[in-house]
A = this chain, B = another copy of it.
């Protein structure tokens, strides 16, 4: 499934659609309208239709979308058909928690190894995960066919780690260290900064306290909340 010019905001919603469709399929629903699906996903119906229109013409007018078919199509766009081999860099509190996170496995993301600078952590760990010395990063990437990495190191070494990953050929990085990584244009990075999220919450809560007017309040990672969203299977 190759597509062109899909809006960034659209891409960010596709995983939600896949989830909703999977849930519907489990419930035995065969066909769904944009109205119903959009309600489950918490977006507007027009938005859903426009999002899907970027990927192709999947619906049948007057009827709706084939649930299982649509799910497969979007999943294919997202590359969920293939297996992803994930390397965790930094096996501290956060790194080890992520290594064992059930949510990944359910989605064809397999954590195949971890690396850490601390030699005490090197060796086999609970869940059968092998932790390697950071020097072996390149080897591990090659041997395990790693094509995605999670950086869970302290901030000061994150850029160095990113450079090693890029050298080793990894082109998709999820970064938990609180620094903006700089990487070549053909590498994708997503930053997840927990302290930043807290500060955003703190901002709105502070503003609310100061001026009791109705603030934007519904702060859903940038998109505003819809009233229809109340309904959810």
Contacts and interface: CB of A to CB of B under 8 A. Distances in A.
A171 to B, nearest CB: 6
B232 A84 contact: no
A58 interface: no
Interface in A185-204: 185-204
A214 B4 CA distance: 11
Interface in A70-90: 77-80, 82, 84, 86
Contact of A229 (B107, B180, B187): B180
Interface stretch (A28-36, A95-103, A129-137): A95-103
Contacts of A180: 16, 41-42, 220, 229, 232
A204 B6 CA distance: 10
A143 to B, nearest CB: 20
Interface in A1-52: 1-4, 8-9, 11-12, 14-16, 18-19, 41-42
Given A14-B203, A203-B11, A220-B180, A198 B107 contact: yes
Nearest to A18: B199
Nearest to A100: B93
A190 B221 contact: yes
Contacts of A2: 207, 210-211
In the complex, the count of this chain's copies comes to: 2
Contact-size category for A: 35 or more
A53 interface: no
Interface string A215-227: 0111111100100
Contacts of A186: 208, 214, 217
Contact of A178 (B14, B19, B191): B19
B218 A185 contact: yes
Interface string A158-197: 0100000000000111100011101101111111111111
